[in-house]
Amino acid sequence: MTASKSSRARNARAQRARTAQANAAGNGGAAGLANGSGTAVKATASANGSGTPVKAGTAVKGGTAVKAGSTVKGGTAVKAGSQSRAVPARGGGPDRRASRGPALTQEATAEAPSTATAPLWLQFTTFGFALAGLGVSIYLTIAHFTQSALLGCSESGLVNCTKVTTSPQSYVFGIPVAVLGLAFYLVAVALMSPWAWRSDRREIHLIRIASLVVGIGFVLYLVYAELFIIGSICLYCTSVHAITFVLFLLTVFAAAAWGLPGRRRGEPSSR
């Protein structure tokens, strides 16, 4: 009876010893787990980032207590053996594409032309007037060199085309005014074409304005010569003067209303 009791006592002590060894082994394995900064948690009690005690066998990451055997990714507890994608938190930083979007838009706006192209009605109107001026200039040039009378033009009184076209003022620097008008409108047809209006080359639009400023100055001189020196006017010459004046007004209006294409708002924004 005594031997049986002693045997049971020894068996109980051995069982407790094995249980203690198993617990110690488990606590030691848990102590091998690392927290978010790479620091191992002791088998006894340790503290997380906020100072709260953590039980043995617990891994700590980012100040959050997680059961032993769990994996932490992106600050979120995940079951052992599972995989997780890092998903940015809703309250996190702004998306790179979203943050770059306004900068890219601002840069594209800075590089874009600051003014719109003149509308089609103005493009074709000026082109039509330029063609009309070219036609009249061609006719005046032919009449000058053939010494023929101009059709439908009076030969007496205030309207006297022959008197005007044969006067000394019909030459400038030894060049017939009709030839100068022909050369001017050959250039004007090119500058007033829709293709020239739509060009993004700034110099084309500057040349258009400059040529018309010179043209309107020449027209004012010819009108003065007709009224105050010759004392007569020529209907064909007057029509060319009127066309030049209209083209001048439309070109200045286009520059004031829509600006000069090719001008930029400013330098590209720095990133």
Poorest-confidence range of 20-34, 131-145, 147-161? 20-34
Q: Output the average pLDDT for the chain.
A: 73
Question: What pLDDT digit, counting tens, does each position of 212-233 carry?
Answer: 999 999 999 999 999 999 999 9
68 and 13 co-located in one domain: yes
pLDDT of residue 25: 58
> DSSP letter at 270?
P
Q: Are 253 and 209 in contact (CB under 8 A)?
A: no
What pLDDT band is residue 245 in, cutting at 50, 70 and 90? very high
Q: Residue 112 is which amino acid? A: A
Q: In degrees, to the nearest 5, what angle opens at C-alpha 147 toward C-alphas 232 and 140?
A: 65
Q: Would you say residue 86 lies in a domain?
A: no
146 and 38 co-located in one domain: no
Report how many domains make up the chain: 2
Q: Would you say residue 233 lies in a domain?
A: yes
Question: Within 13 Å of residue 129, how many CA atoms lie on the same side as its CB?
Answer: 21
127 and 252 co-located in one domain: yes
Q: Strands 53-54 and 64-67: what pairing? A: unpaired
Question: pTM, whole model, 2 decimals?
Answer: 0.56
Q: Which domain holds residue 138?
A: 120-258
The residues, ordered by sequence, that sit 6+ positions from 178 with a Cβ below 8 Å of its Cβ are 137, 140, 141, 143, 144, 165, 170
pLDDT of residue 157: 81
Of the residues 78, 107, 136, the one at which a domain ends: 78
74 and 137 co-located in one domain: no
> DSSP letter at 168?
G
58 and 143 co-located in one domain: no
Of the residues 24, 58, 78, the one at which a domain ends: 78
pLDDT of residue 185: 98
Q: Would you say residue 61 lies in a domain?
A: yes
Q: Would you say residue 124 lies in a domain?
A: yes
Specify the higher pLDDT residue, 157 or 179: 179
pLDDT (average), residues 157-184: 93
Of the residues 78, 100, 128, the one at which a domain ends: 78
pLDDT surpasses 90 at 154: no
181 and 126 co-located in one domain: yes
Radius of gyration of the chain (CA): 48
> DSSP letter at 91?
T
Torsion, Cα 6 7 8 13, to 10 degrees, reads 90
Q: Annotate 191-233 with DSSP letters as a single string.
A: HTSHHHHT---HHHHHHHHHHHHHHHHHHHHHHHIIIIII--B
Write the CATH number for 249. 1.20.1440.130
pLDDT surpasses 70 at 267: no
Q: Would you say residue 141 lies in a domain?
A: yes
pLDDT of residue 260: 85
Q: Would you say residue 83 lies in a domain?
A: no
160 and 55 co-located in one domain: no
pLDDT of residue 135: 97
pLDDT (average), residues 84-109: 47
Q: Report CA-CA distances (Å) from 266 to 57, 144, 252, 269.
A: 64, 52, 24, 8
Q: Would you say residue 103 lies in a domain?
A: no
Q: Which two tokens stand for residue 29?
A: 């394995």
Residue 148, helix vs strand vs coil? coil
Q: Would you say residue 265 lies in a domain?
A: no
171 and 229 co-located in one domain: yes
Long-range pairs for 35-42: beta carbons < 8 A, 24 or more residues apart = 35/59, 35/60, 35/61, 36/60, 36/61, 36/62, 36/72
Q: Are 144 and 176 in contact (CB under 8 A)?
A: yes
Q: Are 125 and 268 in contact (CB under 8 A)?
A: no
148 and 220 co-located in one domain: yes
